[in-house]
Amino acid sequence: MLNGKTILITGGTGSFGNHFTDYVLQHYKPKKVIIYSRDEFKQFNMRNRLAQYDGIMRYFIGDVRDQARMRRAFDGVDYVVHAAAMKQVPACEYNPNEAIKTNISGAMNVIEAALDMGVKRVVALSTDKAVNPINLYGGTKLVSDKLFIAANSYSGFKDTRFAIVRYGNVAGSRGSVIPFFRNLVDTGHTELPITDFEMTRFWISLEQGVQLVIKALAESKGGETFIAKIPSFKITDLAKAILPGCTLKEVGIREGEKLHEVMVTKEDSLHTYEYDKHFIVYPHMAWWSTEKIIPGGEQVPRGFEYSSGTNNQWLSVSDIETLLKSVVEH
């Protein structure tokens, strides 16, 4: 599906962008892969790491806030994966104007550039924090999601389609709890802080995130939100897996932090279908019709909620210990 195509990744030097690029280069034969990001040093490192692919790799210094630069970068592009964002909850709380410029205005710029330059498919990465948001980061990503869904009504007879892929913190990614705990252990701590002993999270690997994005690129008819079916774990069990026999100290929930992650709300259940390895929330818009429902799924029961606290798949301490062996921090 990606063979012979030109793919652009915004925020392409991040953990997802690196893994997505590796996966595409190893499994497909794209015409060109364009990395669009602000950090010249990360681009320099990525270029050196992928030197064998210099013939098809391209590196654009640019910001999603700059629509003119994006239009230039999107020229001749078939597929866009929008991964650029301000993601750190505290940073967004204390720099709200900057979060809005990147996460909301940036999304609008991606949409306008994709429509104007004839991009065929756009998949935007979302987050559990966009569901019933309680912090600014989640609020900006909720608006971003709505913008990308609504953008399908602008495409008219063009073949440009927009979709969302939603998941929580990726295991080992920057900002996740795994590198935080590991750093404490490496510096000799035997007590690990837990914000709340009841807290749960979903477990997703970068590989799973990448595969879901590729599925969305291949199957989207426009406006869907793809959500991976993944196991839950307790934060206390993660701590025990990282440091068996450790002491746990409850320190209180941080600003903007949730007790459990929610990926599908009860309200969304009316438009959600369950598939073998994922859910799809279909748009509730006048331009959308049930004829666009992807075959193979079954509508979830009314009132269904996909939450890390009530999930039917759970990781034990031993399961987490096994998974941690393959977690590389990004």
- Catalytic positions, please? 129
Burial class (CB in 10 A: 0-12, 13-18, 19+), 145: buried
- Residue 42 has which token pair? 């990360």
Give the count of beta carbons closer than 10 Å to the beta carbon of residue 51: 9
- Residue 302 has which token pair? 């009314």
Question: Could you tell me whether strands 57-61 and 161-167 are parallel, antiparallel, or unpaired per DSSP bridges?
Answer: unpaired
Measured over the CA atoms of residue 136, residue 138, residue 139 and residue 140, the dihedral's sign is positive
Identify the three-state secondary structure at position 293.
coil
Question: Could you tell me whether strands 225-228 and 121-127 are parallel, antiparallel, or unpaired per DSSP bridges?
Answer: unpaired
Q: What is the largest CA-CA distance in the chain?
A: 61
Q: Are 195 and 255 in contact (CB under 8 A)?
A: no
Identify the three-state secondary structure at position 177.
helix
Burial 157-192, CB ≥16 within 10 A → b, else e: eeebbbbbbbbbbbbbbeebbbbebbebeeeeeeeb
Question: Cα–chain-centroid distance for residue 52?
Answer: 28
Q: Are 206 and 236 in contact (CB under 8 A)?
A: no
Residue with tokens 């007879």: 157
